[in-house]
Structure formats: structure tokens, C-alpha cells
Amino acid sequence: MAEYLPVLIVGAIIGAFALVFFLASLALKKQKNADGYTRHMSDGEIVKRLLHYAKPYWKDFVLVFFIMAVSIVYDLVSPLIVGHVEKTVSGDFELNYLLKIVAVYAGILIVSMLCTYFQAMILQKTGQKILSQIRMDVFTHIEKLSHEQLNNIPVGKLVTRVTNDPNSISYMFTNILVTLLKNSMVVVGVLGAMLLLNYALTLMVLCFVPFVVLFTVIFRKFSRKAHRDVTDATTDINTYLSENLSGIKITQIFNREAQKMEDFRRRSRELEKAKRNRMFVFGIFRPMVYMLNISCVMCLFYFGSKGYIQDTPFLGQVITADIVVAFYMYISKFFNPIQNLAEQFDMLQKSFASSEKIFGILDMVPEVVDEPDAMELEQIRGEIEFRDVWFAYNPGEWVLKGVSFKVEPRQTVAFVGSTGSGKTTILSLICRNYDIQKGQILIDGIDIRRIKISSLRRHFGQMLQDVFLFSGTIRSNIVLRKEDISDEDIWRACRYVNADSFITKLEDGLDEVVRERGNNFSAGQRQLLSFARTVLHKPSVMILDEATANIDTETEMLIQDSLEKMKNIGTMLIVAHRLSTIQHADNIILLSHGQIIEQGNHQALLAQKGRYYRLYTLQYSKQQLLQN
Ligand SMILES: Nc1ncnc2c1ncn2[C@@H]1O[C@H](COP(=O)(O)OP(=O)(O)OP(=O)(O)O)[C@@H](O)[C@H]1O
Ligand SMILES: [Mg+2]
């Protein structure tokens, strides 16, 4: 019994550690479900869908598998060679023989290193291809989503779906899967090699396995929480940053820098703490596995040296020095992959979570789509009819309640009404940005749901309430990627809408740089550019949602004049806030709470002495007041 005392002491120490960690993990269990992201898809389902992306590259993966199998040979054979060297050195020493063995060792090492290099290269290349495929798929899919669906996902989230999440998936293909596979193979291979070499010592090594498993299980619990805390803190800081950087001017104007700094510092501290905790968890786990590794080696030396020095059989087998050396190397080759496996497993879970988020986007069925027998519409006359249209953004909350009107080709129709009465909504329904719940919208007598969406929108020119300019140049913002347009055509469009006067004053003319969202241009200039953009594409129906923003009188007159001209192009629907803009419209539709309360031309509506009359006299007297 006394001769096993050292081993028992080692066992007791490891057991004590195991108990402490076990108790600690029980304490953690209580807050398990309090935080974080819950997965809905099963691992199997995710793997199946990911394999679909890997399928075109199956040859590359098979190649990598073979290369990996070759590189594993080094892990399995090198301890045997070193053991053999020991035998050679301690027996009848022969330099030539020793050199030969060293050459073989070096050869295997070089082959193994080359294998690792090629494996990494192939995987990186394939991983990048898969990454770009996923990115493309997500982006194309997002483009197909309806306005309603897009309204419900914050832009920051969409950006993460296209950038970060595919990265994490690609990391799985390039790194995690291979490491998992290789490490599993190494563990099995090393175990087999040890068994062949000496089953008694292998049994001794296996005694440590339950502890490794226990430590790993406990570690995973802690590390999952640590990883999640870091992810949450990072997302929090990113969201805060993106929102506050866009609003930084407001912060400066309202003198809120110090307060914002304090908010940011708090979040930054959270992240720092989360990262420190994660390091702490890893900092405990790694030495623990190392402790098991060293304890195992110590036991090996203890039994090995006893057996070797006294030449006594241990469990029926004699242990020789070369076996001790080989086992010494095998033990570390056995413990390292296990530690890696445990650490990589979390990364795998993280990739799965990213995959699920991406598939969540890809699984969103676009709400506004072409019907199977939808038709192309080459030309339209520009007749628009609403027949008892009911529409709600949110089920039950009707925004339009039985709206009916008809616009003849080439007519100009204006929509007026208080804020929130549904003017913008009507305009976006015509272009089928949303589908209506009840009633019919007809273009040239055809229900818009029977027309291909791309074909429908081609005939419309939309000038929205807040003009969006892309970063680029004036030219790129006017032509919007349509390539076969000459400068002459662009200038003609600009002259038509009076945008030429300010463009000619710019240093670079049409090549003047437009910064993000067009923030180096005034609201009026942006509006004129959006007119030019619309006129250039010669739509049959023009839709203008007039901005409420204040525009200087000079620009207002330019806009007024260009509106008059644009009326000649085709049918025109205008939402106007200044009633002076629309006096010449063929029909004026007055909306209130999603219903039409009055319609007719300016004179007829004034004669009715109803709501329009009151609105007009109010605006008119206000104008008079301002002028006096
Ligand atoms: N995407 C949306 N989701 C939910 N409700 C919306 C959405 N867009 C608008 N609404 C609601 O629909 C109603 C009509 O909005 P709409 O934008 O059509 O008003 P509007 O007449 O254009 O007003 P304004 O003159 O201020 O531009 C409002 O009550 C608004 O709150
Ligand atoms: Mg509006």
C-alpha cells in the first residue's frame, strides 16, 4: 500500500480541485437562463444547411482531410522515434544509425509542416469563397424584403448579419471544424498507439480521463457565460456608438458631452470586466488541464522508473526506458487536443448561433412578391384608380379606411391633409411598397398585384419626403447606375428642373463629391437633385412627397417652377403642405384620419366653404401676415 502513497496523494489533490469546481458550477446554475440568446434551430438542422454551402467545395475538403491524416502521422510516430533514439543511445551506440533516425524524424517533421501549410491555404481559400457566397445571399435576400419587414429590423442588426456573422461561419469552416476533427483523430490515434505500446500504462493514463471530462464540462459552463457576457457587452457598446455617432451634433448642441462620456465609460467598463472574467476562466482551465498532464507524467515516471530500475513487471508488462520516453510525449499529445477541443467547442456554438441568425434572415419570406402569372407592362397611360382601399401597417389599426379616387392619364392630383392623415401611405401603396388588405388599386384598369413589381416601378418616378442621396458624385446620384446616359442628357434634365444653376456654381460640376446622405447639400438642393433624377428616367407617373423642411424663397420658386414643368411629362401625384403649390392641380383630395373628406379643383373646393376653404384662408392670412 505504502508504495502507492504518492499516487494516492496526487489523486487526492486532483479530487479536491474537482470538488471545488463542481460546487462552483452548481452555484452558477441558478442564473443560467437569466441572460442571452436562445436558439431555435437544432444543431443538426444548422449543420445540414451549412453543408449545403460547403457542398460545391467537397473536393477541397476531401483533399484537406487527406493532408490532415498525413500530418497526424507525425503526432503518432514522433514519440516512437524519440523512444527509439533513447534505446539506441543507451544501448550499443552507433552514430550512423542515430543520424539515420534523426533524418527520418526531420523528414516527417518537414512533411507535417508542409501539410499544415497547405491545409491552411486551401481552407482559407475555400472559407473565403463560402463567406462571400453567404454574404451575397444575405444581401440579395435583404433587398427582396418588403418595406414592412425592413422597418422591423434595425439597420445596425442588418449590417451585422452581412458582415460579422458570415465571418464567424467562415471561421468555423477554416478553423474550428478542422481542429475539432484533427484533435479527435489525434486523441483516438494516440490512445491506440499507447495501447499497442503498453496497455498497463495506458490504463494509468485513462484514470485521468474522468477528471479531464469533469473539468471540461464545468469549464464549458463557465466559458459559455463568459463568452456571452463579452458578446453582449460588445453589442451594447457598438449599438451605443453607432447611435451616438450619428447624433453627435445634437449632443454638442445640447452640451451633453460629459454625460454621454459617462454613459460610454460605463459600457466600456462592462466590456473590460467581461473580458477580464473570460480571461480568468481560461486562466483557470488551462493550468488545470496542465496539472492533470503533469500529474499523469509524474505517475508515469513513478511507475516507469520503478519498473525500469528494478525490472519488475507492472500489471504483467515490463516497462522499458524507451516506453517511458514515448509515453512521456504521448501524454502531452493526448492532453493538448482535449484542452483544444473544449475551447473550440464554444467557438463552434458561437458559429452555430451566428448561422441561426443568418438563416433567420434568409428564411424571412418576402411579403410583397410577384404572383406566378404576373405580367410585364411595357407602356402605361398613367390612369390610377383606388377602389375602396383599406390598409393598416399593424393589423387592426386602419390607416386608410375605404379610400376611393380616380386619376385620369396626365392629370395632376394633389393630396392635402393634416400630419398623419395617410398621404405618404397612399403614395407608397401605388408603387406596391406595401400590399393592401381590402379593395383594389388599378393602373390603366389592371390590378397592380397582377403586374410584375419591377415592371410596375419602372413607370414611376418617386420623389420622397426625405430625399436620400448616396455617397458618390452628383452625376452618380442622378443616373443611379444606369450607364448609357450622356452628360448632355443629364444637363438637360438638370436644366428642366432648375438644378443647373447651383450645379454650375460648384467647383467640380457634375463630379462634385456627395458625402454620406448628401449632407454637404441643402434640403432644397437635395430636392432639386431628386427631381433631376426622376425626370431623367422619364417616368409615366410622377410621385412627389413634398418636404416639410423650410426652403429659402429663391429655391422654393425654383422648385415651384420645375413642378409646373414636370406636370407636362405625365400623370403627377403631389403631396403638398403649401396649398399655393397645388392651386393649378386638376383634382385636390383632402384627407383626414385615412378618409377622403373633400375633393375637387381649387375653385370648387373654395366654393364649398368646407375644410379646404378654412385651411386655405388660414395659410393665406398667415402668408399675408408674414409679408407685412
Ligand atoms: N411604417 C409604419 N408603421 C406603422 N405605422 C405607420 C408607418 N408609417 C406611417 N404610419 C402611421 O400611419 C399614419 C399615416 O402616416 P403617413 O406617413 O401616411 O402620414 P402623412 O399624411 O404622410 O403625414 P405627414 O404630413 O406628416 O407626412 C400615421 O398615423 C403614422 O403613425
Ligand atoms: Mg408624409
Query: Which of 362, 392, 409 is where one domain is finished?
Result: 362
Same domain, 396 and 344: no
The type of residue at 136 is: M
Same domain, 397 and 348: no
Q: What is the pLDDT of residues 171-196, one digit of tens each?
A: 888 888 888 888 888 889 998 988 88
- Same domain? For 69 and 116 the reply is yes
pLDDT in tens, 343-385: 787 778 778 878 888 898 899 888 888 888 888 888 888 899 9
Cβ neighbors of 13 (< 8 A, separation 6 or more) are: 295
Which SS3 state, helix, strand or coil, does residue 230 take?
A: helix
Residue 283 lies in a domain: no
Average per-residue pLDDT for the chain: 84
Q: Is residue 233 part of a domain?
A: no
CA separation (Å) from 44 to 4, 49, 50, 51, 182?
Answer: 47, 9, 10, 10, 21
Residues 357 and 411 reside in one and the same domain: no
Indicate the residue among 330, 362, 394 that finishes a domain.
362
Closest residue by Cα to residue 460 from 388, 534, 559: 534
Q: Is residue 615 part of a domain?
A: yes
Ligand 1 binding pocket mutation candidate from 147, 419, 421, 466 (most atoms within 8 A of CB):
421
Classify 500 as helix, strand or coil.
Answer: helix
- The pLDDT, as a whole number, for residue 33 is 45
28 lies in some domain: no
Specify the ligand 1 atom closest to the Cα of 426: 18
Tens of pLDDT, residues 258-292? 888 999 999 999 999 999 998 888 888 888 888 88
Share of the chain above pLDDT 90, in %: 17
SS3 42: coil
Closest residue to atom 10 of ligand 1, CA basis: 393
Q: What is the pLDDT of residues 531-563, one digit of tens each?
A: 888 888 888 898 988 765 556 677 777 777 877
Q: Are residues 318 and 420 in the same domain?
A: no
Ligand 1 centroid distance, CA of 535 (Å): 27
The pTM of this model reads 0.72
Number of domains the chain contains: 2
Domain that holds residue 493: 384-627
Q: Quick one: cell of 355?
A: 448561422
* 428 Cα nearest atom in ligand 1: 18
334 and 409 belong to one structural domain:
no
Residue 148, classed as helix, strand or coil, is helix
Within 384-479, strands assigned E span: 384-392, 398-407, 412-417, 438-443, 446-447, 460-463, 472-473
Q: What percent of the chain has pLDDT over 70?
A: 93
Q: What is the CATH number of the domain that holds 177?
A: 1.20.1560.10
Please indicate, yes or no, if residue 525 is contained in any of the structural domains.
yes
Q: Are residues 353 and 389 in the same domain?
A: no
Is position 190 within any domain? yes
- Residues 406, 354 share a domain: no
Cβ < 5 A residues, ion ligand 2? 424
Q: Is residue 467 part of a domain?
A: yes
CATH number at residue 391: 3.40.50.300
The string of DSSP codes covering 235-301 is HHHHHHHHHHHHTHHHHHHTT-HHHHHHHHHHHHHHHHHHHHHHHHHHHHHHHHHHHHHHHHHHHHH
**Least distant ligand from the CA of 577:** 1
Q: Decide: 324 and 308 in contact? Cβ < 8 Å.
A: yes
Same domain, 485 and 621: yes
Strands 398-407 and 446-447: unpaired
Domain's final residue, options 362, 393, 414:
362
- With cut-offs at 50, 70 and 90, classify the pLDDT of residue 1: low
Do 199 and 151 share a structural domain?
A: yes
- Does ligand 1 come within 6 angstroms of the Cβ of 421? yes
State whether 352 and 410 are in the same domain.
Answer: no
Nearest ligand for residue 416 CA: 1
CA 240–ligand 1 middle distance (angstroms): 27
Question: Residue 271: inside a domain, yes or no?
Answer: no
Same domain, 332 and 433: no
Task: Evaluate: CB of 146 within 6 angstroms of ligand 1.
Answer: no
- Nearest residue (by CA) to ligand 1, atom 3, is 393
